[in-house]
Amino acid sequence: MHDVARDAATCQRCPLYKLGTQTVFGAGPADAPVMLVGEQPGDVEDRKGLPFVGPAGGMLNRALEAAGLRRDRIYVTNAVKHFKHVPTGKRRLHQKPNAYEIDRCKWWLDLELDIIEPELTVAMGATAARSLMGRPIKITEARGRDLQTAAGRPMLVTIHPSALLRLRDSVSRAAEFDRFVADLRNIGTLVPGVRV
């Protein structure tokens, strides 16, 4: 995996390499039975070079703990490896990757899947689902269903944890957090080896 991550560090398959501080490759055990796939690194991830270490990562860690899952047995990555953003003064505002960028970066995600060979892949959000399925899908329709990636691997779909951070109403946030935890509990049912 280290060789692939090193090769990805010099990736120029799409123009996003000009925006990000660095390539943010996946992290976790090489024998992980579960792979969680998000959209792209955020500002904190781009600066630190690790996936899911910013606010969305904190939300994910809370949800994994509440679902009774071991983060140390899960590989985490993103569909797109560079942070797409617009600089606005001192802040860098997130921008959603387009279809071309997702498709160009799929090369790296496919390599990660081939190396890790997870028993279950979980798409967190529409960008991850599109990359894994090879076509756009609606999260509301796919959420909670047993699906397969374009390559025929078992897959689940849920929201991206950053969606919870955007909810301002504390009641709505708590309800959606519980629903996200319920989605994650399905992982432990399908792959008992990641349960605490």
User: Which CATH number covers residue 34?
Assistant: 3.40.470.10
Supply the pLDDT for residue 6.
Answer: 86
Does 195 map to a domain? Answer: no
pLDDT reading at 1 higher than 90: no
Domain limits for position 144 = 2-190
Supply the pLDDT for residue 75.
Answer: 98
pLDDT reading at 123 higher than 90: yes
pLDDT reading at 79 higher than 90: yes
| Angstrom distance (rounded) from CA 194 to CA 126 | 24
pLDDT reading at 3 higher than 90: no
Does 154 map to a domain? Answer: yes
Q: Determine the 3-state secondary structure of 146 from DSSP.
A: coil
Buried b or exposed e, range 5-31, using 16+ CB within 10 angstroms: beebeebebbebeeebebbbbbbbeee
Amino acid sitting at position 9: A
Does 67 map to a domain? Answer: yes
**What tens digit of pLDDT does each residue of 137-167 get?**
999 999 989 899 999 999 999 999 999 999 9
Supply the pLDDT for residue 92.
Answer: 85
Which has more pLDDT, 104 or 88? 104
Residue 51 main-chain phi, psi, to 5 deg: -80, 145
Does 10 map to a domain? Answer: yes
Supply the pLDDT for residue 189.
Answer: 96
Supply the pLDDT for residue 91.
Answer: 82
Supply the pLDDT for residue 142.
Answer: 96
Does 170 map to a domain? Answer: yes
Buried b or exposed e, range 139-149, using 16+ CB within 10 angstroms: beebbeeebeb
Q: What is the pTM of this model?
A: 0.96
pLDDT reading at 16 higher than 90: no
Supply the pLDDT for residue 43.
Answer: 94
Q: How many domains does the chain have?
A: 1
> Binning pLDDT at 50, 70 and 90, where does residue 135 land?
very high
